[in-house]
Structure formats: C-alpha cells, structure tokens
C-alpha cells in the first residue's frame, strides 16, 4: 500500500488534525472501509462492485461463442443481463448455459453471487446494528466567572431510555512552543468535578474548576484565540435498553468557548415530576458577575 504524502484532514466537529503518511482507504482492510463510509457512498460502492462483477462475467460469456442459449450472437447486452440473472441466482429460463464452457462460467458466477450476497448482507446488518449513543451536546462551552471560575459543558441524553455508567473526559489542546523552538499542539486533560454518572437520564453538566494550576487560568477570549484553544470531549456509557457500550465525541473551537456566560435552566418540576427540556440544552445567558450594572 502506498501512503499519501499530502496531509489528510481528521475532523471532529470544530477540532481538526492533519496526518501524513496514512491512506484514507486501505484496501487491505475492506471491512473498515465498508463500515466507515457514509450510507450514500456505501450504496454507490455496492452498486459499483456489482456492476464490475457482472461486467467481467459478461466478457467471459462473450469469449465463449454460443455459450448462452437464446442469446443474440455477440450481444453484450444479452451477456450482461444473463450475468445479472446468474449472479442473483434468479434464472428466468429464457437464456441458459448452452455448452460446457457456459456451464463452468455460470457455476463460478453463481458461487461468486452467493459469497457476494452473504458479505453484503453481513455488512448491511453491521451498519444497521452499530450502536449509536445519541448523546446531545450544547452548541457552546461556557466559562462562568461568578464565584469560582469554571468551564462547563452540558450534555443531554437524546434517547427515551437510560444510559448507565457514563464516563466523560475533557481535554484542552493549545499551541505551545517546544524546546526546539517549534510550535506544537499540546493536549492537557482537564479534571472534572464529576466525571462519572451511574445513571444518565436527562442532562449532565460537566464542570472543570479553573484555579491557578488549570491550563485555563488565563481564560480571556483573546488568550483562547491566541492559543487556538480546542476542547475535545469524549463520553462512554452503557445503553440499558440494548446492553451495549456506546461512545460519543464532540469538539469546541475557541470561538465556541463563551467566556462570562452560563447555561439557562433546562430542568423543571411539574406535579412532582422532573422534566428535562432538551430544546434548552444550548441556551446560554450572561453570568451574573458579567451582567452590566444599570445606570
């Protein structure tokens, strides 16, 4: 496999990395390619492979004169459509293998069709059954300044079922100058006040307290932009309904870290019940400490 010399972008929301020396599609690992393609590209690839197989076998049939009964001599269209019928193991009965050569080619194609159908069925099942977390992320992270400064990111459980044993990790990537004078993007893990939830039902606000030891100690908007600050958040949990482990990830660029803001309430109580309003997940307002004083 030849590796690309030009950089390949790896994007996670607003967070982007560039990688050289890697191949976007490694043909030695077709399974990974098949499960990571988008649905439109997957079906286009499926159609392309199917057409390629039928094209090859149609040429084999044309190479053997009179190998297909009731087919027009030298007709590529007849050979191609006979190949489609054979690959799909349909066999309408109008055209059929007419000699030993035709029987050998059609037998090989039938076996190829069975394998192709089995592989495609398995891949489609894997793509449909792949667990998805459906964890919702607020559009912006906020830094409050009232009392003790803190970085906050709010999440929401977008399913009507519970998530259990949820664990979150938050990292800050900033530009730093190394000993050799080069500029590198360095990761700093941000400790959370509470990084684990035994039950994640409605919303969850992650909090990192900003003290003198925090990488965000100087958290002015100008400084965040100067360091090209990027937040990367990962969440793992177990879906109680399916019993599977799910994973979600989101990133926030410095322009999505809102200083002097806080989240509006998204949890209300009515008739003794707790109601989580996920439509308010991203709503923010000025922190009280930043509110203008009325003149």
Residue 6 tokens read as: 């030009």
Q: Residue 15: pLDDT band by 50, 70, 90 thresholds?
A: low
* Averaged pLDDT for residues 185-191: 91
pLDDT value at 4 more than 80? no
Among 13-22, 109-118, 140-149, 211-220, the least confident range: 13-22
Q: Residue 20: pLDDT band by 50, 70, 90 thresholds?
A: low
- Domain 135-290 listed as CATH 1.10.287.810: no
pLDDT at 291: 42
pLDDT at 293: 36
pLDDT at 22: 64
pLDDT value at 292 more than 70? no
Give the domain ranges of the chain: 37-129, 135-290
* Averaged pLDDT for residues 275-282: 93
pLDDT value at 1 more than 60? no
Residue 268 tokens read as: 């209300």
pLDDT at 34: 86
Higher-pLDDT residue of 87 and 9 is 87
Residue 237 buriedness (CB in 10 A; 0-12 / 13-18 / 19+):
buried
* Averaged pLDDT for residues 196-206: 95
Q: Measuring CA to CA, how many Å separate 213 from each of 92, 144, 155?
A: 76, 17, 26
pLDDT value at 266 more than 90? yes
- φ/ψ of 138, rounded to 5, equals -60, 150
Fold of the CATH domain 37-129: Helix Hairpins (1.10.287)
pLDDT at 29: 79
């Amino acid at each position: 496999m030849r590796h690309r010399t030009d950089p390949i972008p790896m994007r996670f929301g607003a967070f982007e990395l560039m990688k050289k020396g890697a191949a976007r599609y490694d043909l030695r690992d077709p399974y990974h390619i098949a499960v990571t393609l988008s649905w439109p590209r997957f079906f286009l690839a499926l159609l392309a492979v199917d057409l390629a197989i039928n094209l090859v076998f149609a040429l084999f049939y044309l190479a053997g004169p009179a190998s297909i009964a009731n087919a027009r001599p030298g007709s590529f269209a007849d050979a191609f459509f006979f190949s489609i019928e054979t690959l799909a193991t349909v066999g309408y009965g109008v055209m059929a293998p007419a000699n030993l050569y035709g029987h050998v080619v059609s037998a090989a194609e039938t076996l190829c069709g069975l394998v192709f159908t089995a592989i495609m069925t398995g891949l489609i099942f894997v793509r449909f059954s792949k667990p998805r977390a459906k964890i919702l992320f607020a559009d912006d992270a906020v830094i409050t300044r009232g009392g003790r400064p803190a970085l906050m990111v709010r999440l929401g459980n977008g399913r009507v079922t519970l998530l259990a044993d949820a664990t979150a990790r938050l990292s800050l990537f900033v530009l730093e100058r190394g000993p050799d004078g080069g500029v590198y993007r360095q990761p700093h893990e941000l400790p959370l006040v509470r990084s684990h939830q035994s039950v994640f039902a409605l919303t969850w606000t992650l909090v990192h307290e900003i003290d003198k030891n925090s990488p965000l100690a100087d958290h002015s908007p100008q400084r965040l932009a100067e360091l090209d600050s990027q937040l990367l958040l990962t969440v793992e949990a177990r879906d109680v309904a399916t019993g599977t482990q799910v994973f979600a990830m989101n990133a926030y660029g410095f322009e999505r870290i809102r200083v002097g803001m806080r989240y509006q309430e998204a949890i209300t109580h009515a008739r003794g019940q707790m109601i989580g309003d996920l439509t308010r997940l991203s709503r923010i307002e000025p922190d009280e400490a930043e509110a203008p004083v009325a003149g």
